[in-house]
Amino acid sequence: MPTLYYAVGACSMAPHIVLEWIGAPFEAVKVQYGSPELLAVNPAGAVPTLREDDGWLLTQAGAILDYLSQKHPEANLSGGDSLRQKAENHRWSAFLTSDMHAAFWPVFMPYRYTTDESDEARAKVVAAGHVLVHKQFATLDKHLEGREWILDGKSVIDAYAFPMIRWGKKLLEGNLTQYPNVLALHDRLAADPAVQKVLDRESGN
Ligand SMILES: N[C@@H](CCC(=O)N[C@@H](CS)C(=O)NCC(=O)O)C(=O)O
What pLDDT was estimated at residue 196?
Answer: 98
Cα dihedral: 52, 152, 141, 95 (round 10): 40
CATH number of the domain to which 119 belongs = 1.20.1050.10
- Residue 94 Cα, ligand 1 centroid: separation in angstroms? 15
Alpha carbon distance 97, 92 (integer Å):
8
Alpha carbon distance 38, 6 (integer Å):
9
What pLDDT was estimated at residue 204?
Answer: 81
State the amino acid at position 103 in one-letter form. A
> In 43-176, which ranges are E strands?
49-51, 57-59
Q: Which structural domain range is residue 97 located in?
A: 83-192
Instruction: Indicate whether 93 and 52 sit together in one domain.
Output: no
State the amino acid at position 182 in one-letter form. V
- Tell me the pTM: 0.97
Instruction: Indicate whether 148 and 58 sit together in one domain.
Output: no
- Residue 82 Cα, ligand 1 centroid: separation in angstroms? 30
Instruction: Indicate whether 29 and 96 sit together in one domain.
Output: no
| Ligand 1 neighbourhood includes 58 CB (under 6 angstroms) | no
Instruction: Indicate whether 147 and 64 sit together in one domain.
Output: no
Instruction: Indicate whether 100 and 161 sit together in one domain.
Output: yes
Which of 176, 97, 104 has the alpha carbon at shortest distance from 144? 176
Protein residue closest via CA to atom 11 of ligand 1? 46
Protein residue closest via CA to atom 18 of ligand 1? 60
Instruction: Indicate whether 65 and 159 sit together in one domain.
Output: no
- Residue 46 Cα, ligand 1 centroid: separation in angstroms? 5
What pLDDT was estimated at residue 205?
Answer: 63
Instruction: Indicate whether 65 and 153 sit together in one domain.
Output: no
Q: In total, how many domains does the chain have?
A: 2
Q: Are 139 and 132 in contact (CB under 8 A)?
A: no
Task: Provide block-wise average pLDDT over 10 residues at a time, the chain (205 residues).
Answer: 97 98 98 96 97 98 98 98 98 98 97 96 97 98 98 98 98 96 98 98 85
**Chain-centre distance for alpha carbon 2:** 19
Instruction: Indicate whether 89 and 186 sit together in one domain.
Output: yes
